[in-house]
Amino acid sequence: MPDAVLFDCDGTLVDSETLSAEVFCELLGGLGHAAEPAEILLAFRGRQLAKCLADLESRFGALPSDFGDLFRARTAEVYRARLCEMAGAAELLRAMSHPVCVASNAPRAKIELCLEAAGLARFFHGRIFSAYEVGAWKPDPGLFLHAAEAMGAAPARCLVVEDSEPGVAAALAAGMRVVALLHEEAPGWVPAGVPTIRALPELRALL
């Protein structure tokens, strides 16, 4: 039994990544660039925003200096209007007796907005950890190690729930057990030996 369960946020607890991909395409379209949400989602899932913007500039050329700020402002509007929990998230969290936290590559303000909009904030008061505050972004293990220390749990006694390649890599580098929440069939990035689930309620059987 783990001493603590560390959840990623985007794409793991809340269905924000599909909305973010739509906003990327909306803003790019306004600049005359064509992109498909599915393509953006596949390329950017779990990645730091700065790296996503650098990737877009390598494909489309220089973006406006305020593109990142526009993206954050527009996604905040969309999240407040449309964001939902990942299927079964609240059901799972209500049933869990394990200490839980969120450890995300996103800024704290975004994490809190997403959890509030999806109705999950009540499960994580005082237990939110942002890469921006730690200075370490997945796949660097620093964020997970910081969260484990704050939770009073040894890394080997932690279970991480992630939906992205950088997140799974960070958990393994931290010496933690990890479960991958899959959004597509048999993605090639899941390392051998890492258990997978297709929906959050399935985690209860692993706990």
Residue 36 is part of which domain span? 17-82
Give which of 37, 28, 21 is closest to 60, Cα–Cα: 28
* pLDDT of amino acid 47: 86
Q: Lowest mean pLDDT of 6-10, 39-43, 143-147, name the range.
A: 39-43
Q: Give CA–CA dist 154/2, Å, rounded.
A: 10
Higher pLDDT, 183 or 63: 63
| 127 and 194, same domain (yes or no) | yes
From first CA to last CA, the distance across the chain in angstroms is: 6
- Per-residue confidence (pLDDT) for residue 184, from 0 to 100: 77
Same domain for 113 and 24, yes or no, is no
Q: How does the average pLDDT of the chain come out, rounded?
A: 95
C-beta neighbour count of 117 within 10 angstroms: 20
* Amino acid at position 136, single letter: A
Q: How many domains does the chain divide into? A: 2
What pLDDT shows up at residue 1?
Answer: 83
pTM passes above 0.85 = yes
